[in-house]
Amino acid sequence: MSDATIEVYENEARRFPPPEAFAAGALVSDRSLYEEAEADYEAFWARQARELLTWNQDFDTTLVWDLPFAQWFVGGKLNVSENCLDRHVAAGRADKVAYHWEGEPGDTRTITYGQLLSDVEKFANVLKGFGLAAGDRVAIYLPMIPELPVAMLACTRIGVAHSVIFGGFSPTSIVDRCDDAEAKLIITADAGWRRGAPSGLKSAVDTALADGAPTVEHVIVVNRCDTDPTMVDGRDHWWHDLMAGADDHCPPVPLDSEQLLYLLYTSGTTAKPKGIMHTTGGYLTQVAFTHKYVFDLRPDTDVYWCAADIGWVTGHSYIVYGPLANGATSVMYEGTPDTPRETERHGDRSAWTKDRLWDIIERYGVTQLYTAPTAIRTFMKWGVQWPDGHDLSSLRVLGTVGEPINPEAWMWYHEHIGGRSCPIVDTWWQTETGSHMISPLPGVTTTIPGTATTPVPGVFAEVVDQQGNTVDVGGGYLTITRPWPAMLRGIWGDPQRYFETYWSEYPGRYFAGDGARVDEEGNIWILGRTDDVMNVSGHRISTSEIESALVDHAAVAEAAVVGANDEVTGQAIIGYVILIGGFDDSPELREEIRQHVATKLGPIARPKAVNVTPDLPKTRSGKIMRRLLRQIAQGEEIGDTTTLADPSVVDALRASAE
């Protein structure tokens, strides 16, 4: 894009907020929030905690900070499910819709706060029936169906921590996560709908339990797709049978503010995923705060849609906990927003239409849409224009998350979805931060395509150079300078790794792992990961996880993986492998190796390409030069190769990539 075009776009975007976009009422937020947080940020968060949540016992100390360990709202007691459900029902909103749920095939369910509470109480009793109590861990491996938030909230009701495992992960991933957390029970479904067909989940759990995860004693199975899975006597139980016999009264347990709420595993720079720990009071405060202010939420009238999957942190914080704590009405959809809509028969792709997103927005009158740049770029690629025939005028705020959004995609979102009248909130945050950290507030912060702008009130970020000096204008590394309520409390079972990964690189600061640039106005432009973590369709995958899956294949001696720029998915996984002597390169073998990774880690980790090479580019000290591999994968000019032990390897690599 030329500089002139960007300037036109920037000028256009700078007109925000246009007053007409907010004709419906005064803005939820204003500048005073920033001033208040700047003046005394602990007092600011204490006020938010008391105003946004209901406490069974008030806290006496806002923050205890003993780097790297933070405790927020110490001495306070509360229950997450009570905050998300009971208090709304008690306030007379039992009939208010919590979720307009829509399955991928188009089936729908409307779930009110009253119904959700009743299901959560019953399921909490089911969990108790299996002997689970505060402090235990449960794994959840479900598709995007209402039983997923029910299961999560039922855990919170009795103090059991959940570990949600994304449905696209493999049996090996299930074993690793259950073993690490010592999960006692798994909640799953026979299958979920995925691109026109049921995709099995129970079968993956069966494979996992045949191989390992010895701590798991019971499996609860939701019948979503009628695929008639095998049920193991004594171990496996149908959700509907258990619920039919469950009492619907289960009082919420008042829990310590620092009680473990959940574990969510995420990729780091080693092959072993990290169990990120989130706790109760601080997490719920910050997700409720950001959900309200970043999305300019009017809970009585809005219909909010976060089109993420609950298997990732975005869904935890902005489909389940934030919206429910605020008593909002959400859309919850089983597929991805770029899943075409089937108008005729299942599986006949020629009959699918590509207006799924507009169709849902129009039918439910969605006011806030929160999605990822990869989905936006898919629509751009499809060539969809301002969706004529669909009325999207209900939209008021558009959100984006997961990866840097390129200015072209930002403008397309702004024009074709937002009809040029919705502010775009580009929200930077991580599994570890639990909650939005850097984002504009609609109508308050001037937006510019491509920048997440400035930290939300109560969050303090700085870009630093390699030595840790603050960069006022220019590029460097993104750090957070003070603890925040929703911050991770640690890595499950590995306090040392927690300290080393996040708090040792720049002493006194949290290091996010992202590169960033600050402009003259102080806006923060996120440039992406600086470590060996890739971002594929907004999902974090580590290069070393894939490398270890590659070398696990019988034919592979050595492997290196890079994320190459990809028009739609942001980055694409490209593997380079050296074969063990005796194996010959062939398209079939490469395909088999790709499939091996998918089987080990799950379909999302399948490399886009695997190239066979006689050698890998290494420095004289033996370190693989990923930069070079990336440049080759992207078909770019190769930079300096003088540090290579054997410069001739470059030609061989080029040949293998063709």
Binding site for ligand WTA (CB under 6 A): 266, 312-314, 401-404, 426-431, 452, 512-514, 526, 528-529, 535, 540
- How far apart are CB 533 and ligand WTA at their closest, in Å? 7
- How far apart are CB 432 and ligand WTA at their closest, in Å? 7
- How far apart are CB 148 and ligand WTA at their closest, in Å? 18
- How far apart are CB 426 and ligand WTA at their closest, in Å? 5
Token pair belonging to 121: 């109480």
- What gap in Å lies between CA 451 and CA 521, rounded to an integer? 12
- How far apart are CB 364 and ligand WTA at their closest, in Å? 24
Q: Quick one: 280 or 451, whose CB is closer to ligand WTA? A: 451
- How far apart are CB 315 and ligand WTA at their closest, in Å? 10
Q: Give phi and psi for 48, each to the nearest 5.
A: -60, -45
CB atoms within 10 A of CB 229: 21
- What gap in Å lies between CA 537 and CA 168, rounded to an integer? 13
Cα–Cα–Cα angle for 23, 26, 27, rounded to 5 degrees: 105
- What gap in Å lies between CA 245 and CA 249, rounded to an integer? 12
Answer yes or no: are the C-beta atoms of 81 and 153 closer than 8 Å: yes
Which among 257, 265, 256, 247 has a CA at the least distance from the CA of 127?
247
Q: How many CA atoms lie within 13 A of 150 on its CB side?
A: 31
Please state the separation of Cα 343 from the chain's center in Å.
Answer: 30
- How far apart are CB 313 and ligand WTA at their closest, in Å? 5
- How far apart are CB 548 and ligand WTA at their closest, in Å? 20
- How far apart are CB 433 and ligand WTA at their closest, in Å? 8
Q: Quick one: 59 or 312, whose CB is closer to ligand WTA? A: 312
- How far apart are CB 265 and ligand WTA at their closest, in Å? 11
Q: Quick one: 101 or 410, whose CB is closer to ligand WTA? A: 410
- How far apart are CB 205 and ligand WTA at their closest, in Å? 24
- How far apart are CB 539 and ligand WTA at their closest, in Å? 6
Token pair belonging to 580: 């063990």
3-state secondary structure (DSSP) of residue 152: helix
Q: Which residue is nearest to ligand WTA (CB)?
A: 431
Which among 45, 85, 478 has a CA at the least distance from the CA of 283?
45
**Element housing 464 (H / E):** strand 461-464
Cα–Cα–Cα angle for 13, 17, 22, rounded to 5 degrees: 140
- What gap in Å lies between CA 250 and CA 409, rounded to an integer? 47
- What gap in Å lies between CA 600 and CA 606, rounded to an integer? 9
- How far apart are CB 514 and ligand WTA at their closest, in Å? 5
Q: Quick one: 100 or 540, whose CB is closer to ligand WTA? A: 540
Answer yes or no: are the C-beta atoms of 87 and 54 closer than 8 Å: yes
Q: Quick one: 125 or 439, whose CB is closer to ligand WTA? A: 439
- What gap in Å lies between CA 13 and CA 308, rounded to an integer? 25
Answer yes or no: are the C-beta atoms of 134 and 77 closer than 8 Å: no
- How far apart are CB 407 and ligand WTA at their closest, in Å? 13
Residue ranges of alpha helices (H) inside 499-586 are: 543-551
Query: Rg for the chain (alpha carbons), in Å?
Result: 24
CB atoms within 10 A of CB 615: 16
CA dihedral angle for residue 78, residue 80, residue 82, residue 84, rounded to 10 degrees:
140
- What gap in Å lies between CA 584 and CA 54, rounded to an integer? 65
- How far apart are CB 505 and ligand WTA at their closest, in Å? 14
- The answer to whether the bond into 17 is cis (omega within 30° of 0) is yes
Q: Quick one: 76 or 322, whose CB is closer to ligand WTA? A: 322
Q: Quick one: 266 or 548, whose CB is closer to ligand WTA? A: 266
Token pair belonging to 557: 């001696």
Q: Quick one: 143 or 563, whose CB is closer to ligand WTA? A: 563
- What gap in Å lies between CA 393 and CA 386, rounded to an integer? 12
Q: Quick one: 239 or 429, whose CB is closer to ligand WTA? A: 429
- How far apart are CB 512 and ligand WTA at their closest, in Å? 6
DSSP secondary structure string, 596-645? HHHHHH-GGG--SEEEE-S---BBTTS-B-HHHHHHHHTTPPP---TTBS
Q: Quick one: 367 or 431, whose CB is closer to ligand WTA? A: 431
Q: Quick one: 537 or 613, whose CB is closer to ligand WTA? A: 537
Q: Quick one: 430 or 634, whose CB is closer to ligand WTA? A: 430
What HEC string does 37-89 produce? Answer: HHHCHHHHHHHHHHHHCCCCECCCEEEEEECCEEEEEECCEECHHHHHHHHHH
Q: Quick one: 290 or 367, whose CB is closer to ligand WTA? A: 290
Query: Which amino acid makes up residue 558?
Result: E
- What gap in Å lies between CA 70 and CA 498, rounded to an integer? 13
Q: Quick one: 54 or 565, whose CB is closer to ligand WTA? A: 565
Q: Quick one: 431 or 447, whose CB is closer to ligand WTA? A: 431
3-state secondary structure (DSSP) of residue 105: coil
CB atoms within 10 A of CB 4: 8
Q: Quick one: 141 or 370, whose CB is closer to ligand WTA? A: 370
